[in-house]
A and B are shown apart, each in its own frame.
Chain A
Amino acid sequence: MALLDEAEKWIAVVTNECPNGRYPSVARFHPPALRFERAARDLFGLASVGLPDVRPWLDHGRWGVVHPLNPAAASEGPVARSYAFLPAEGEGLHQIPVGPVHAGIIEPGHFRFAAAGETIVRLEERLGYTHKGVEGLMIGKPLAEAAKLAGRISGDSTVAYAYAFARAVEAATGCEPPPRAVWLRALMAELERLANHLGDIGAICNDASFALMQAHCAVLRERVLRAADHCFSHRLMMDRVVPGGVMVDLSPEGASEIRALVDFVCEAFPRLVTLYDSTASLQDRTVGAGCLNRELARQYACGGYVGRASGRGFDVRKDLAYPPYEALTFVSPTLDEGDVNARVWIRIREVEQSLSLIGAIVDRAPAGPVRVEPAAVAGEGVALVEGFRGDVLAWVRLDEAGRISRCHIRDPSWLQWPLLEAAIGGNIVADFPLCNKSFNCSYSGHDL
């Protein structure tokens, strides 16, 4: 279990050997641990004593095996079980099941609404549809293959995942990546943040039926992806960050292309911000919708734009700064309103910050090699990296041959999905897509 002391800016990993396959439930006292404990029970067969909700989470009864990651407890599993959703009772309440196949081009998950007329009384999520067994596949893999898997846990955050995985491996092996690689990683991470925020701002407005913003934001996003493709020969920059450095160096032509990109976005983006801010029909949808209160954001240690729009300013790049961010100047914006509008504004401010960071990184990146080979030694390491969605945590344990003995990567969505359930209560069913998009949690990153 990883612990964070926010005031002291300190993280630790504690281990409980669970000799009898049991451990005392943390979720009993700290609800954010609930889904983690349900997932650990599904995957490892570890019994959490006092767990308030014993329904399976990732295991839908279809794997043909139960407790797949625990050789001692693994056994042939049952066929599909039914899942008991939490009850909602009252006069005139009705249920609306949605998913796992959704109407748009998005990932699969199931949402069960209990509604009174148009108003949502309770939303319950059921996830796990995209569970690919990544942790199991990681075991015994050499670093290069494991890094590829890490970069495909959530494709929109591929740089952040590969970055977190690489830093965890480097912490475990004592490997020091070359200075230029450290700066190029940050460059890719900021390009990824920029592309995703631009896409999200457009998509949120589109879900409020304002397609014009979507079209303009999609143009900017496409420009970022094309520049990434030219500079790093992959539009999403997959497999470019590896333990020991980066796979591709940035050429001088690439650097000028990125400068031109920054100029282009800096010129076009402010007009779109004005458009967002001055369209009353759009504001009518986003202001006051899907409010997440500060207390819940704090309790769930919610990261990224969801946390920052509800007053929790935690940003790994500042609070647990890793190179090169401690040498860069930027602000991590926060707001208190916690509504869809606040989450849009956090993204807008972060786009501006990323643009200035990208310019600074291209100008200041030192020359030199971009990759060293990590030593094949046993070790354990943990790292936190700020992805566009929030803090991605990676933990690895390596065997003597330098292969993965265990690896866990935690998506920020684990702590944001439960809050979507809270934020949507009292809103109308028709506003769910808008609120959901403003959270934009990862299904694949969560389901692992």
Chain B
Amino acid sequence: MRTTLLNSLLKRPLTEPAPPADDPEIAGFAAKLERTARSTLGRSLSIRLVDAGSCNGCELEIQALGNPYYDLERFGLRFVASPRHADVLLVTGPVTKNMSEALLRTYQAIPAPKWVVAAGGCALDGGLFAGGYACVGGVSAVIPVDLHIPGCPPSPLGILKGLLALLRSANLNPE
């Protein structure tokens, strides 16, 4: 273990540079937001994930946000175990009918003010799973959505930029 730790100390970090403040993708996400979180919550966001029936592709890329390349926590973003501790509800999947009540209850358990981010094509409108007997089709059919991050699945960088848009400086999008 000592060798591994020493090697890590001697190497440069793998972490990607943070996206610049004027990143067009972040600006695009922020423009779609009616309110940013920073003025209310400062520089930190606690996120609770609910998989509302995704194929688990989105979860893989959300998990990747924690790896040393993206290192989510350096931005003040962290995943929490309970909705009671969360500011942001991150939702994936086409919202299966079997998950819709659990999604609604999780949303209700988050104290206000709260934001909902829907990640992935399914979360927008059900994607390929829309129209069947088993899916509601999109997160907004069950709870209000503040931001949608596209992609099937969205890349870790795309998810990161969406979350940063929530945090971004209030003077770019004054409330």
Contacts and interface: CB of A to CB of B under 8 A. Distances in A.
A153 B55 contact: yes
Interface string A139-159: 000000100110011111010
A216 B4 contact: yes
Nearest to B130: A137
A218 B62 contact: no
Nearest to B62: A105
Size category of the A interface is 35 or more
Nearest to A77: B133
Interface stretch (A57-65, A177-185, A254-262, A372-380): A57-65
B9 to A, nearest CB: 13
Size category of the B interface is 35 or more
B162 interface: no
A286 to B, nearest CB: 16
Contacts of B81: 103-104
Q: Which of A133, A155, A271 has the most CB of B within 10 A?
A: A155
Given A107-B51, A444-B56, A219 B14 contact: yes
Contact of B64 (A64, A108, A222, A443): A222
Nearest to B82: A103
B138 interface: no
A18 interface: no
Interface in B1-18: 1, 3-5, 7, 14
A272 B3 CA distance: 11
A215 B69 CA distance: 10
Contact of A106 (B51, B82, B96, B133): B51
B60 interface: yes
A71 to B, nearest CB: 12
B132 A222 contact: no
Interface of B: 1, 3-5, 7, 14, 49-64, 66-69, 79, 81-83, 93-94, 96-102, 106, 128-129, 131-135, 152-153, 155
Nearest first, the 3 closest Cβ-Cβ pairs linking A and B are: A155-B57, A133-B134, A218-B67
17 contacts: A62-B97, A63-B134, A65-B133, A68-B133, A101-B83, A105-B79, A107-B51, A108-B102, A129-B98, A131-B96, A132-B53, A132-B135, A133-B129, A155-B57, A218-B64, A219-B14, A219-B67
